[in-house]
Amino acid sequence: MSAFLGPLDATGRVPPQQQTRVATFLLSCHAAMVRQLAIALALQTKAAWHTELNSQLYRESEIVSLLLRATSWAPDPELLFLLPSWETAWLPRPTEGVADRAQAFIIDMAALGHALHAVIRPAALLPESGPLLDPFALALRKIEFESNRLIQAQILFLKSADLLPFRSAVNAAVESRHAQVRKLWDDMLSGIGVERGIDR
């Protein structure tokens, strides 16, 4: 086990098997965000949120598109079992303790987005002497950099005065999504010989 992707292949790339597993996980969760944002945008009645939701939708779409192009794919039969479990995990689950059903869904969507952008640090998987110009490595760096900005919308919303009456429920929802994403991400990495937090 190592804290980083690799060992790099002869051309200095992250091995395609690892690229495939990491990219599929990221595609799964960011595509789920695209779907949820599209629905939220269609249903959202607060005009002030349209700008941010629209921006989030297209930046999440960019991540999906980037991964599709930048990844060196390899056959991975285990994905037949893994992918459905990941897709199930991203399904909306209305936040408990919030009576307004639509608001409960929106809080969960923001909680999931917060967890994806906070917990998943794909660039931190690259070894120190890692590939600088490899498309997959560049994509991981881009995704992590954009995540730091994307999460700001979730932070502003989840900490907003509107949600202060539900602070405990909101906090519990976000912590729960964090724990879920952290476990799935760590399990996925463990399956390709990477363990976060060691050798650093």
Q: Interface with other proteins by CB under 8 A: which residues? A: 114-115, 117-118, 121, 124, 128, 144-145, 148-149, 151-152, 155, 158-159, 170-171, 174-175, 178, 197, 200
Distance of alpha carbon 27 from alpha carbon 191, whole angstroms: 17
Closer CB to other proteins, 39 or 124, in the complex: 124
Residue type, 45: T
Closer CB to other proteins, 41 or 169, in the complex: 169
Provide φ and ψ at 194, rounded to 5°: -120, 130
Q: How far is the CB of 27 from other proteins (least distance, A)?
A: 22
Cβ atoms 27, 64 nearer than 8 A: yes
Closer CB to other proteins, 65 or 160, in the complex: 160
Print burial letters for 96-123: b (CB count within 10 Å at least 16), e (below 16): eebeeeeebbbbbbbbbbbbbbbbbebb
Q: How far is the CB of 163 from other proteins (least distance, A)?
A: 10
Q: How far is the CB of 86 from other proteins (least distance, A)?
A: 20
Closer CB to other proteins, 73 or 145, in the complex: 145
Closer CB to other proteins, 43 or 156, in the complex: 156
Cβ atoms 147, 120 nearer than 8 A: yes
Q: How far is the CB of 188 from other proteins (least distance, A)?
A: 19
101 CB-side CA count, 13 A:
1
Q: How far is the CB of 66 from other proteins (least distance, A)?
A: 18
Of 98, 97, 92, which is closest to residue 32 (Cα–Cα)? 92
